[in-house]
C-alpha cells in the first residue's frame, strides 16, 4: 500500500508539471457533488490508460443519465488540489454521492459500465 501511495504522489507531481491537457488547465473543476442530484465523480487524468478506457463510458453515461444523475470528470494531473481534497491514492477513482451530497461508495481503478450502472441504481437512479 505504501509503495502505491508513493508511486501515485511521484506520478502526480511529474505528470502535472509535464502535461497541460489542452485548455482544461485554465478551467476550474466543476462543483461536486451536484446539489440535489446523485453524482458520480471520476478522478483521473486524460493521459492515464485506464482513465482513457473509462472516458467513452462516462460520455455514454452523461447522455443516458442527463437530468437524472451528474457524471463529472476531474483531471487530477491538471487540478492537483482535487486529488488531495478527495484523498485520492490511485487513478482512476470513482466516488458516488447521494442526493444529499454524502459519499456513499468509492472505487479505485477501471470500472466497467455495468458496475457503474449498478451503483447508480443502488442510489435510486433509473
Q: Could you identify the residue written with the cell 435510486?
A: 124
Distances (CA, A) of 60 to 64, 111, 112: 6, 14, 12
Catalytic residue among 51, 88, 91, 95: 51
Beta strands in 20-113 (DSSP E): 38-44, 69-75, 93-97, 103-108
Active-site residue (options: 48, 71, 78, 88): 48
Is 21 tagged catalytic?
no
Whether 113 contacts 54, CB under 8 Å? no
Residues with active-site annotation: 48, 51
Amino acid at each position: 500500500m505504501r509503495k502505491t501511495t508513493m508511486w501515485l504522489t511521484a506520478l502526480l507531481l511529474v505528470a502535472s508539471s509535464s502535461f497541460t491537457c489542452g485548455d482544461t488547465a485554465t478551467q476550474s473543476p466543476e462543483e461536486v457533488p451536484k446539489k440535489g442530484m446523485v453524482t458520480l465523480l471520476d478522478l483521473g487524468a486524460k493521459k492515464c490508460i485506464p482513465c482513457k478506457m473509462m472516458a467513452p463510458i462516462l460520455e455514454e453515461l452523461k447522455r443516458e443519465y442527463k437530468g437524472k444523475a451528474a457524471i463529472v470528470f476531474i483531471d487530477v494531473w491538471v487540478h492537483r488540489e482535487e486529488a488531495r481534497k478527495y484523498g485520492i491514492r490511485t487513478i482512476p477513482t470513482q466516488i458516488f454521492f447521494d442526493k444529499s451530497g454524502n459519499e456513499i461508495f468509492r472505487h479505485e481503478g477501471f470500472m466497467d459500465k455495468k458496475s457503474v450502472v449498478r451503483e447508480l441504481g443502488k442510489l435510486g437512479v433509473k
